[in-house]
Amino acid sequence: MGIRRKKITVVGAGFTGATTALMLAQKELGDVVLLDIPQLENPTKGKALDMLEASPVQGFDSNIVGTSNYEDAADSDIVIITAGIARKPGMSRDDLVNTNAGIVRSVCENVKKYCPNSIVIILSNPVDAMTYAAYQTLGFPKNRVIGQSGVLDTARYCTFIAQELGVSVEDVRGFVLGGHGDDMVPLVRYSNVGGIPIDTLIPQNRIEEIVQRTRVGGGEIVNLLGNGSAYYAPAASLVQMTEAIIKDKKRIIPVIAYLEGEYGYQDLFLGVPTILGGNGIEKVFELELTSEEKAALDKSADSVRNVIKVVQG
Ligand SMILES: NC(=O)C1=CN([C@@H]2O[C@H](COP(=O)(O)OP(=O)(O)OC[C@H]3O[C@@H](n4cnc5c(N)ncnc54)[C@H](O)[C@@H]3O)[C@@H](O)[C@H]2O)C=CC1
Ligand SMILES: O=C([O-])CC(=O)C(=O)O
């Protein structure tokens, strides 16, 4: 039996989906299927072919096809869902809930049918609630249904810390807990540069500004773009998660995971630190939190629960 390349389907060929497809192929993580609605079949095929024609220049051997037919996605190892509408200035992510819940559910019906053994990563917003909707529709075990927020939120946080200190982004460590909304919880106590705690290097008022800028980091980009939301850093985040799974790297990454008692929460999807490997979410770390940190996480969990209630009907 030959060794088969991994197959990765990206549903939604818009800004985030197309960027993700190209980055996945450039890293040769597998063959990529880019899938959008039938009305956009030709543009989707065109994007995929254009990416493929970059492969001789950049020297990557991943195949990329565009389609609107789930048969082309059959038996994918990983499915990344970016389908849905994005917010515009003045909107919150939660304003997208009804439209995107319908889209995510219809996509997941197909994923369940054509890719029953896949690991599914959800990006569509409001992502904590969309991951919940996907989990309900897919009926997959919880380790195989994963939402993306923590990698992106942490990336923003680490960017701002590196800028503040004028140090390499490679040496910044930290992470963000909670829902993908304005009350997410960057954990300052667990943040360091080259092992040196940031609160010994950055004054408290500047740390607070960095935390606040991180919380509204998505909105900052939405306001600058004017007609859509971020896609380069979101795509890079999806690729990091995909790589951790495909290479079974067992990376410690904050992702949106289904909680059944962890941190005291039941039947909730929320951003928490996990081990991400070949089986998807292999472990959820339950950190000791101070009473202040726990209160902030409770507030974020309450916001997520309110949006989940909408998808629960
Ligand atoms: N969780 C996160 O950190 C982030 C989430 N997002 C979210 O990701 C989503 C996509 O964002 P963009 O790519 O910028 O939007 P976009 O509008 O550029 O692309 C969305 C694509 O989904 C497609 N689509 C709609 N219904 C579909 C269906 N039933 N099947 C297949 N494809 C379908 C559309 O035709 C469109 O091409 C938005 O909901 C956005 O809010 C974006 C960035 C970060
Ligand atoms: O802000 C948005 O609507 C898109 C998103 O989730 C992000 O960039 O964090």
- Annotated binding residue at 16? yes
Ligand 2 neighbourhood includes 125 CB (under 6 angstroms)? yes
- Of all ligands present, the nearest one to the C-alpha of 34 is 1
Ligand 2 neighbourhood includes 87 CB (under 6 angstroms)? yes
Nearest atom in ligand 2 to the alpha carbon of residue 152 is 9
Compute the distance from residue 16 Cα to the ligand 1 centre, in Å: 7
Compute the distance from residue 71 Cα to the ligand 2 centre, in Å: 30
Q: Which listed residue (6, 7, 180, 215) is catalytic? A: 180
Q: Is 174 exposed, middle or buried (0-12, 13-18, 19+ CB in 10 A)?
A: buried
ipTM: 0.99
- The pTM of the whole model exceeds 0.90: yes
Q: How far apart are CA 112 and CA 11, in angstroms?
A: 13
Active site residue 180: yes
- Which pLDDT does position 137 carry in this prediction? 98
| Among 154, 180, 222, residue to substitute to test ligand 2 (most atoms within 8 Å of Cβ) | 222
Check if the beta carbon of residue 175 is closer than 8 Å to that of residue 293.
no
Q: How many CB atoms are closer than 10 A to CB 201?
A: 15
Residues in the chain, overall count: 313
Compute the distance from residue 290 Cα to the ligand 1 centre, in Å: 36
Rg from Cα positions in the chain: 19
* pLDDT (tens place) for every residue of the chain, 313 residues total: 688 899 999 999 999 999 999 999 999 999 999 999 999 999 999 999 999 999 999 999 999 999 999 999 999 999 999 999 999 999 999 999 999 999 999 999 999 999 999 999 999 999 999 999 999 999 999 999 999 999 999 999 999 999 999 999 999 999 999 999 999 999 999 999 999 999 999 999 999 999 999 999 999 999 999 999 999 999 999 999 999 999 999 999 999 999 999 999 999 999 999 999 999 999 999 999 999 999 999 999 999 999 999 999 7
Q: How far apart are CA 253 and CA 284, in angstroms?
A: 10
- Annotated binding residue at 129? no
- Annotated binding residue at 125? yes
Tell me how far the alpha carbon of residue 44 is from its chain's centroid.
Answer: 22
Q: Which residues line ligand 1 (CB under 6 A)?
A: 11-17, 36-37, 40, 82-87, 96, 100, 103, 106-107, 123-125, 127, 148-149, 152, 180, 228-231, 234
